[in-house]
């Protein structure tokens, strides 16, 4: 168990009405806009959003690296710096530089010395799959290996909260699998995880909760299942004689219809009702497929709806 997990009743993360404005040549850019988020201990949260959504800025504020324009950040009831000082937080950042000229072990060892109750260095190297490269100098590492070192650095303080900004970028398929296997062990031990990612399959497979952010605001917040349901649940594809028939969109259980070559694609609010209505309206329908909406499609639908709303 992580050492801080039972010390207080506060949630792992509490972001309250966070705002961050950047003053640029073109005026004030609102990177994070009234963002509030509470993460209970032990939960794994994926922060998803298009480029420039405000994910990294939110993470920077969470880690005390950027001061919010307004709003508050608490980690297990404390300001970020206090939580980090006691070793309660491990972080992997997008551009976290590794000191040149040191070996992998020296870097992890040096980091361990900064904290009161670190994990044994060998264990951190093992968790990151870097034991065999412990003597390697950081300048000789590949992109994926460098990411693993950042992970070893993140876990060596024995944190109860891991904050990871696009953790598996540059990792190959095996590296990603190993990483998530290790994460599963840490999650099983009660560690809270907040990670930003562009890999929606990772969020779907490994997060308890998905928070979709765009233009600094939260657009959707729920389990991967709930987020997928927001985009309309299921879709039906069928070959029909007239895929342009506008009456498909009016069928019971159907929220919208579109043509795909010689098929009609029905976006369903209730796929059971929709399939009955489809067969009644177009008995010739064939090659019928019903598929759930994936997280990727849901993400696109949610963020596109936001663009349309803003430009309307
Ligand atoms: N230091 C800064 N000065 C000015 N603007 C900034 C600064 N840092 C970030 N921004 C702007 O704030 C917005 C949010 O950026 P942020 O890096 O948080 O997005 P992100 O969701 O992490 O994007 P990505 O997925 O591309 O990493 C962007 O428009 C970005 O250009």
Q: Using one digit for the tens of pLDDT, what is the confidence trace for 186-210? A: 999 999 999 999 888 899 999 999 9
d(CA 2, CA 80): 18
* Residue that the structure tokens 């299942």 belong to: 225
Is it the case that residue 95 has pLDDT exceeding 90? Answer: no
- Give the Å distance between the CA of 60 and the centre of ligand 1: 10
What pLDDT score does 269 carry? 82
What is the β-pairing status of strands 254-260 and 263-268? Answer: antiparallel
d(CA 192, CA 11): 10
- Give the Å distance between the CA of 11 and the centre of ligand 1: 27
Q: Where are the domains of the chain?
A: 13-228, 233-292
pLDDT band for 141, please (50, 70, 90 cuts).
confident
- Give the Å distance between the CA of 30 and the centre of ligand 1: 10
Phi and psi, residue 233, nearest 5°: 70, -90
Rounded to two decimals, the ipTM of the complex is: 0.97
d(CA 117, CA 98): 22
The residue whose CB lies within 8 Å of the most ligand 1 atoms, and thus the one to mutate among 54, 69, 211, is 54
Supply the residue whose CA is at minimum distance from atom 7 of ligand 1. 22
The residue-averaged pLDDT of 88-117 equals: 88
Is it the case that residue 295 has pLDDT exceeding 90? Answer: no
CATH number 3.40.50.300 is the correct assignment for the domain at 13-228 = yes
Q: For 169-189, write each residue's pLDDT tens digit.
A: 888 898 899 999 999 999 999
The residue-averaged pLDDT of 229-241 equals: 85
Q: Under CATH, which number does the domain 233-292 receive?
A: 3.30.70
Q: Among the residues of the chain, which ranges form H helices? A: 55-62, 80-85, 104-112, 121-127, 143-155, 173-188, 200-206, 224-230, 271-281, 295-311
Q: For 33-73, write each residue's pLDDT tens digit.
A: 999 999 999 999 999 999 999 999 999 999 999 999 999 99
pTM value is: 0.82
- Give the Å distance between the CA of 193 and the centre of ligand 1: 22
Is it the case that residue 234 has pLDDT exceeding 90? Answer: no
| Structure tokens given for 158 | 């024995």
d(CA 200, CA 160): 24
Is it the case that residue 232 has pLDDT exceeding 70? Answer: no
What pLDDT score does 93 carry? 86
pLDDT band for 1, please (50, 70, 90 cuts).
very low
- Give the Å distance between the CA of 78 and the centre of ligand 1: 26
Order across the sheet with 27-39: list the strands. 27-39, 13-24, 70-75
Atom index in ligand 1 nearest the CA of residue 32 equals: 14
If you average pLDDT over every residue of the chain, what do you get?
A: 90
What pLDDT score does 3 carry? 45
Supply the residue whose CA is at minimum distance from atom 2 of ligand 1. 22
pLDDT band for 5, please (50, 70, 90 cuts).
very low
What pLDDT score does 226 carry? 87
The residue-averaged pLDDT of 140-158 equals: 91
Supply the residue whose CA is at minimum distance from atom 1 of ligand 1. 22
Q: Which residues line ligand 1 (CB under 6 A)?
A: 22, 24, 29, 31, 49, 51-57
- Give the Å distance between the CA of 215 and the centre of ligand 1: 10
pLDDT band for 308, please (50, 70, 90 cuts).
low
Is it the case that residue 307 has pLDDT exceeding 70? Answer: no
Asked if the domains 13-228 and 233-292 are classified in one and the same CATH topology, the answer is no
pLDDT band for 140, please (50, 70, 90 cuts).
confident
- Give the Å distance between the CA of 49 and the centre of ligand 1: 12
The residue-averaged pLDDT of 84-96 equals: 87
Q: What percent of the chain has a predicted confidence (pLDDT) above 70?
A: 95
By the 8 A CB rule, do 222 and 209 touch?
Answer: yes
Query: Taking the mean position of all CA atoms in its chain, how far away is CA 109?
Result: 29
HSE toward the beta carbon, residue 123, CA cutoff 13 A: 10
The residue whose CB lies within 8 Å of the most ligand 1 atoms, and thus the one to mutate among 53, 68, 164, 194, is 53
The residue-averaged pLDDT of 18-44 equals: 94
Atom index in ligand 1 nearest the CA of residue 23 equals: 4
What pLDDT score does 270 carry? 87
């Amino acid at each position: 168990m992580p050492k801080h997990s039972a010390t207080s009743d506060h949630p792992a993360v509490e972001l309250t009405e966070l705002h961050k404005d950047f003053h640029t040549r073109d005026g004030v850019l609102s990177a994070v806009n009234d963002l509030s988020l509470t993460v209970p201990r032990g939960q794994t949260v994926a922060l998803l959003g298009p480029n420039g959504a405000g994910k990294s800025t939110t993470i920077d504020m969470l880690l005390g690296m950027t001061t919010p324009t307004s709003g508050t950040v608490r980690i297990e009831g404390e300001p970020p710096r206090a939580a980090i000082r006691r070793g309660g937080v491990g972080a992997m950042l997008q551009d976290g530089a590794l000191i040149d000229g040191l070996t992998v072990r020296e870097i992890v060892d040096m980091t361990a010395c900064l904290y009161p109750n670190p994990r044994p260095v060998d264990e951190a190297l093992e968790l990151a799959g870097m034991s065999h490269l412990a003597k390697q100098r950081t300048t000789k590492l590949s992109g994926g290996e460098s990411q693993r070192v950042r992970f070893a650095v993140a876990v060596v303080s024995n944190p109860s909260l891991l904050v990871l900004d696009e953790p598996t970028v540059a990792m190959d398929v095996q590296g990603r699998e190993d990483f998530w296997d290790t994460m599963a062990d840490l999650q099983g031990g009660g560690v809270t995880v907040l990670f930003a990612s562009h890999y929606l399959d990772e969020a779907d497979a490994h997060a308890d909760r998905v928070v979709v952010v765009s233009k600094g605001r939260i657009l959707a917040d729920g389990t991967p299942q709930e987020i997928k349901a927001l985009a309309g649940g299921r879709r039906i594809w069928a070959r029909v004689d007239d895929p342009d028939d506008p009456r498909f969109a009016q069928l019971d259980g159907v929220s919208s219809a579109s043509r795909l070559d010689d098929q009609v694609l029905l976006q369903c609010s209730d796929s059971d009702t929709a399939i009955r209505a489809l067969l009644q309206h177009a008995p010739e329908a064939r090659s019928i497929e019903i598929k759930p909406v994936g997280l990727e499609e849901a993400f696109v639908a949610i963020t596109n709806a936001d663009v349309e709303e803003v430009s309307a």
